[in-house]
Amino acid sequence: MEEIHLDIKIEQYAMEELSDSEQELVRSAIKAMHNAYANYSRFYVGAALRLANGQIVIGANQENAAFPSGLCAERSAIFAAQSQQPEQPITTLAIAASNDEGLLKDPITPCGACRQVILEMEDRYKRPVRILLFGARAVYAVNSVKDLLPLSFVDANMR
C-alpha cells in the first residue's frame, strides 16, 4: 500500500491586503447577498465574478418551497454570465454569506456541485478561476478550483 498525498494551497488575507480590484469584487459579493431569496434556510449567499473584459456579474441563492428547485449564488452568477457573454472567461469569483446573526466569521466555501461547475469553466476556457472566500475574520483565496476539488472529474477523464 502506498499513500498519495496531494498538495493544495490556500492563501489567507486580511481584506485590505487584497488588490483594489479584488476588494471591489468581494464587496460586490457582500452586496449581492442582499438579493438572496433564502426564506427556507435563512442563509444568504452572494457571489460576484469578474469576466476577462473586467465586467462584474453577481448572483445570490434562490430557494424554492420544492427544495431541489433552488440554486446556489455561485451557479446563479456563473450561469447568468455564461448565458449573456459566453465568449468571456471568468477570471475571479468572490463569495460571501450571512445568517440572521450577520456575516459569517469563517470563510464560506462553495458546495460540491458549485465546485464542479467552476471546474467546467476552467476546462471550457482552459484558464484557472481565482476564488475569494470571504469571512469576517479572513479571506481565503485559491488560484484554481482544483485546490478545492482534488481528483477532479472533467471531460478528458472520460476519454
Site for ligand THU in 107-126 (CB under 6 A): 108, 110-111, 114
Residue 120 known to be catalytic: no
Q: Which of 73, 104, 133, 148 binds ligand THU (CB under 6 A)?
A: 73
Stretch that binds ligand THU, among 24-32, 49-57, 104-112, 133-141 (CB under 6 A): 104-112
How does 117-131 read in b/e, with b if 16+ C-beta sit within 10 Å?
bbbebbeeeeebbbb
Distance spanning both ends of the chain, measured CA to CA: 27
Half-sphere exposure of 80 (CA within 13 A, CB side): 18
What three-state secondary structure class fits 130? strand
By CB under 6 A, is residue 99 in contact with ligand THU? no
Nearest approach, Cβ of residue 73 and ligand THU (Å): 4
By CB under 6 A, is residue 38 in contact with ligand THU? yes
Cell for 44?
Answer: 444568504
By CB under 6 A, is residue 41 in contact with ligand THU? yes
Kindly name the residue from 22, 74, 87, 122 that is annotated as catalytic.
74
**Nearest residue to 63 (alpha-carbon basis) of 98, 82, 96, 35:** 35
Q: By C-beta, is 94 or 108 nearer to ligand THU?
A: 108
Q: Which of 72, 117, 133, 148 binds ligand THU (CB under 6 A)?
A: 72
What three-state secondary structure class fits 28? helix
* β-strand pairing of 90-99 with 130-134: parallel
Supply the residues annotated as catalytic: 74
- Residues engaged in binding ligand THU (CB under 6 A): 38, 41, 43, 45, 61, 63, 70, 72-74, 108, 110-111, 114
**Binding site for Zn(2+): residue ranges?**
72, 111, 114
